[in-house]
Amino acid sequence: MSDAITAEGLVKRYGEVTALNGLSFSVPRGTVLALLGPNGAGKTTTVRILTTLLRPDGGRATVAGCDVVAEARRLRSYIGLSGQYAAVDEHLTGAENLEMIGRLYHLGARRSRARARELLERFDLTGAADRPVRGYSGGMRRRIDLAGALVANPPVLFLDEPTTGLDPRARAALWDTISELVAGGSTLLLTTQYMEEADRLADQIMVVDHGRAIARGTADELKDQVGGNRIELSVTDAAELEVARDALAWVAVGAMRTVPESLQITVPVTDGPESLRHALGRLADAGVRVRDAGLRRPTLDDVYLTLTGHRASGTDEQVREAIR
Ligand X SMILES: Nc1ncnc2c1ncn2[C@@H]1O[C@H](COP(=O)(O)OP(=O)(O)OP(=O)(O)O)[C@@H](O)[C@H]1O
Binding site for ligand X (CB under 6 A): 14, 17, 19, 37, 39-45, 84
Say whether residue 45 binds Mg ion (CB under 5 A): no
CB of 40 to Mg ion, least distance (A): 8
Say whether residue 315 binds Mg ion (CB under 5 A): no
For residues 48 and 115, which CB has a smaller minimum distance to ligand X in the complex?
Answer: 48
Residue 124, classed as helix, strand or coil, is: coil
Say whether residue 163 binds Mg ion (CB under 5 A): no
Say whether residue 44 binds Mg ion (CB under 5 A): yes
For residues 154 and 211, which CB has a smaller minimum distance to ligand X in the complex?
Answer: 211
- Which whole-number Å values give the CA distances from 268 to 26, 128, 251, 252, 256, in the listed order? 32, 49, 8, 5, 7
- The residues in 85-104 that bind Mg ion, with binding defined as CB under 5 A, are none
Report d(CA 154, CA 184) in Å as an integer.
Answer: 11
All residues at 6 or more sequence positions from 216 whose CB lies less than 8 Å from its CB, including other chains: 25, 204, 205, 206, 207, 222, 324
For residues 55 and 106, which CB has a smaller minimum distance to ligand X in the complex?
Answer: 55
Inter-axis angle of helices 273-285 and 241-248, nearest 10? 130
**Of ligand X, Mg ion, none, which one sits near residue 313, judging by CB under 5 to 8 A according to partner kind?**
none
Residue 88, classed as helix, strand or coil, is: coil
**Of Mg ion, ligand X, none, which one sits near residue 17, judging by CB under 5 to 8 A according to partner kind?**
ligand X
CB of 239 to Mg ion, least distance (A): 43
Residue 236 DSSP one-character state: S
Report d(CA 221, CA 303) in Å as an integer.
Answer: 10
**Of ligand X, Mg ion, none, which one sits near residue 250, judging by CB under 5 to 8 A according to partner kind?**
none
CB of 160 to Mg ion, least distance (A): 6
Which of these, 60, 69, 51, lies nearest to 20 by C-alpha position?
Answer: 60
Say whether residue 192 binds Mg ion (CB under 5 A): no
Contact residues toward Mg ion (CB under 5 A) are 43-44, 84
